Structures are given as C-alpha cells and as structure tokens.
Amino acid sequence: MPERLAPATVVACFTLLAAILLPFADLEISGHDPWAMLGRMLTGFARPDFGAIETLAHSLALTVAFAVAGVALGAAAGFALAPFYDRRLVRILCIGLRSIHEIFWALLLIQAIGIGAPAGVLALALPYAGIFAKIFAEQIEESDPRPRNALPPGTDAISRFAYACLPLIRAPMTAYCLYRLECGMRASAVIGFIGLPTLGFQLDSFFRKGDYGATSAILICYIALIASLRLWMRPRLAPLWIAGSLALLAALRAPPMGEGALWRFLSEDIIPRPLRSGEGLTGLLDWLGDLTLTEILPGLWNTVIATQIALVLTGIVAFLTFGLTVPAVTGRWGRYAGHLFLVVLRSLPEYMLAYLFLQIFGPSLLPAILALGLHNGAIIGHLVGREADSLVPGLRPDAPRGLNLWGWELAPRVFGSFLALCLYRWEIILRESAVMGILGIATLGFFIDSALSELRADRAVVILIVIALLSALIDTISLRLRQRMKIAGLRDSDCARTSALSADAMRT
C-alpha cells in the first residue's frame, strides 16, 4: 500500500497548477464599459418587472414541461435497463449516453430530428436514461438481501423483485428522481439558449432588448420554482405533472423537417467526410490531423485551463461559504442570508451564470471561470455546511462560537469531505466548461457548435469523443486521488442530497 497522500499536498498541487496556468488564460475584459453595464443590470434587477407575465408564465411552464417529460422518460428507460446493467453491452450503451452533455445532445438532436418538443425531451431523457440505469442498478444491488432470502424458493423473478426489492429501494429511488428533476430544470432552462422555447430563450430575448426588469422577474420566478421543487412535486402528483407536461409539449408547433433527415444524419452526416468521399485511411488521417491542430488542441487547452482555475475557485468559494448556513457560526439571521445566497447561486445553472457574466465582461474565459466557481462552490458549500451543522451538537459544551468555531472546530473536521466533493465535481466542471464554448468562449463546445452550424456533424462527433475521453481520464485521476488520500468514497447518488432547499432548511 502506498503511503497516505496528505490532503494539504493535493490542495497545494492543484493551487500551484492553477497559478501556473493563470497567465495563459484569456481573462481580458472586452465588454464595452463593463461597470456601467453592471450598474444598469443591477438597477434593473432591483426593480423586477412582472409586466410580461404571460410570456413569463408560458416559458416557465415549458421549462417545467421539458424537465418533467425528459426526467420521466429517462427514469422509465433507466428503470427498464437497470436489471441488465451487469451486461457489458448495456453498460457500454449507458456510459455512451451519459458521457454526452444535455446541451450537446440537444444540438445533435436538433440537427437530426428538427427543433421541436421531441428534440428537447430526448436531449434530457437520453443522458438521464444512462445515469438512472446506473443509479437504479446500484440501489438494487445494495438493497437488503434478507427479505429476498426469506422468500419461498420457487418464487418467480418478477414477484421476487416486486415484493422483496422494489419496496426497499422506493424511497432512495424517489429521492434520486427528485434530485434529477432539479438537474433537469437547469438543463431545460439552458437548452433555451440554443433555440428551444424554454427559459433560456426568453432570457436571451429580454437581454437583447435590454429589458433587465423582465429578466430579473423571470430569474426570481425560476429560482423560486427550483427552491420550492419539493413542495410542488409530490411523488403522488407525478402522473398529473407528466400528463400536463406532455399535453403542453404536444401543443408546441415546430417547423417541419425534410423527409429522411434523421436517416441522412445517421448514415451520412456523422460519417467522417474522407470516408464518405472514398479517400480511405490516409484521407482520414489527414482529416483527423487537421481537425486536431486547428480545433481540438486549442479547444482542449482552453477547456483545461478554465477547468483547473475554476476548480480552485470552486474550492475557495466553498471553503469560505460553508460556514454561512451554520447558525452557530453566523447566527439565526446570518444563516437565512447564507441560505438565500447559496440557493441563488445553486439554482442558476453554470451556463446561465456564464451568460450573465458574458454580458458584462465580454467573451473570454473569465465569465466561464466565474460561473463555474460560484455555482459549484455554492453546491459544495451547501453540502459541507450541512455536515458541519450536524457536527455542532456533538462538540464539547464550551466550544467557541462564530469564526473561531468555524476555523478551529468545524473546518478541520469537514476538510476531508470538502476535498472529496471538490474532486468529485472536477469532472462535472470540465464537462460544463466544454459546454460553455457554445456561448462563444473558445473551449471545445465552441468548435462543436460551429461544426454543427456548418453542417459538419462528423467533426462534432470527433470532438464529443475527445470530451468523453478527457472526462473519463479526469474521473479516473479523481478517484485515484481520493483513494490515495483515504477519504470516504462518494457517488453520484450521494448528490441527491444536493437539494436546492433541503428539507431540514425548510423546517427551521
């Protein structure tokens, strides 16, 4: 066994790497008079304008509808796949489905089946099916075996599952579905930025008109909707929500697609051009070499720089904010303010935050890094804060309060899980920073977006594979590091705890 890796060493290495990369990052503020812009935005935000209530309600309803329909379809497909997850073919299919980000799925699907409700729903459902299959399979595997062993030996497989397994995993399954719906609400808002009729679309058009009051109103409603998710989405009401969502989506009109578009997309567009035109292997290698030099390497470089700097920023934000929600540190009112601050940053997807920062600072890596750091930092700050809060009753009676408690009693105790969460989110930050290219920032997503808009899907597919490989690599490194530091394992299902407004926060 290699020696235990000191957490401080890991932190130092990541910080050093980010510091070395910092001078190479394009952080130029190119917006026209950013401070005046910021001032106008803040004035507008302080005066929300609910005048356009109809447009606002419609785009919020569609955001919910896409999220509910996508998550429901994904959960159903994942549930059907879960019992077969131990088969290699199913597992590879699921890994492939979930390695592509929702927005990239949306871009591909819009090319393949046209811009309409099916593309939006599938953009969520396809990656989520892969995730649900994995999570449900884990939950089945970890369910208590004793009821199964007590069954009469001749019981058929279906009854066995329905009686001795499903009731045991229903609660964790529901919790995970709710967590996924929260992710789905964010993804659903974000696919609006690429043309689907959800919140992102509305936000973009308000922004273009400079209507910051309406922007503010729509953001307030959206955050309220996510924060109250567990109040309006009761498991018993789920069928009603699903039926309502499907009805709303069915009424959407979409521009008609030419016949055979999907088939052409699958059989021609995504096949590398040199193979289509019969240039053979040398042609393919030239094509790949050219793609690598002109798009993949520059995109990769920017994506990695943004990721590494954003990861350190995430850590700083999380470490500085986790105490905010602990009443023993900030007091009762401080705690409410802390919750509000973290809820706002957690509810707004990275992509949307980056969009907002982009309006102020102009296109560079700066908006991406800020958005990634704030959003992910708020999520980790919330989770670590909850753990810290649960430690307080067990401390010695004469423990200090306020900042001393935070620094001396809590921070050392939660440092392990803080670090584990940061490393866990490393891969997520990478994927999101690639996606932000669609906003016009020079990460990998930029080249995917432009390849697709030039109808060169073959190039987009190659870059998507590069992203999948890179995130697999980071996932492996992160796992190794966590093992070497001997900090508790973390899995995706643990993040079901990342509720926007947790049950315990609402009770008090």
Binding positions for other proteins, rule: CB under 8 A: 146-160, 162-164, 167-168, 170-171
* Least distance CB 169 / other proteins (angstroms): 9
* Least distance CB 236 / other proteins (angstroms): 15
In this complex, which beta carbon is closest to other proteins, that of residue 167 or of residue 407? 167
In this complex, which beta carbon is closest to other proteins, that of residue 54 or of residue 156? 156
In this complex, which beta carbon is closest to other proteins, that of residue 19 or of residue 162? 162
In this complex, which beta carbon is closest to other proteins, that of residue 3 or of residue 156? 156
In this complex, which beta carbon is closest to other proteins, that of residue 82 or of residue 189? 82
Which residues contact residue 136 at a Cβ distance below 8 angstroms, ignoring those fewer than 6 apart? 78, 79, 82, 85, 169, 173
- Cα separation, 30 vs 440, in Å, equals 13
In this complex, which beta carbon is closest to other proteins, that of residue 169 or of residue 187? 169
In this complex, which beta carbon is closest to other proteins, that of residue 150 or of residue 250? 150
* Least distance CB 159 / other proteins (angstroms): 4
**351 with 436: CB under 8 angstroms?**
yes
In this complex, which beta carbon is closest to other proteins, that of residue 43 or of residue 159? 159
CB atoms within 10 A of CB 508: 9
- Cα separation, 256 vs 48, in Å, equals 37
**Residue 81: its H or E element:** helix 53-81
Please report, for residues 118, 121, 477, the alpha-carbon distance to residue 196 in angstroms, rounded to integers and kept in the order given. 11, 10, 36
**What DSSP designation does 107 have?**
H
In this complex, which beta carbon is closest to other proteins, that of residue 149 or of residue 508? 149
* Least distance CB 173 / other proteins (angstroms): 12
* Least distance CB 151 / other proteins (angstroms): 6
Place of tokens 């190119």: 30
* Least distance CB 161 / other proteins (angstroms): 9
* Least distance CB 419 / other proteins (angstroms): 35
* Least distance CB 145 / other proteins (angstroms): 9
* Least distance CB 142 / other proteins (angstroms): 15
**Residue 25: its H or E element:** none
- The tally of CA atoms less than 13 A away on the side-chain side of residue 49 is 13
Q: How many residues does the chain have?
A: 508
Burial of 505 (0-12, 13-18, 19+ CB in 10 A): buried
* Least distance CB 152 / other proteins (angstroms): 4
**185 with 352: CB under 8 angstroms?**
no
- Provide the sign of the torsion angle of the four alpha carbons 37, 40, 45, 49, taken in this order: negative
Q: Which of 154, 256, 150, 192 is nearest to 60 (CA)?
A: 192
In this complex, which beta carbon is closest to other proteins, that of residue 29 or of residue 151? 151
CB neighbour burial string for 48-57, b if at least 16 within 10 angstroms, e if fewer: bbeebeeebe
**368 with 441: CB under 8 angstroms?**
yes
Q: At 256, is the secondary structure helix, strand, or coil?
A: coil
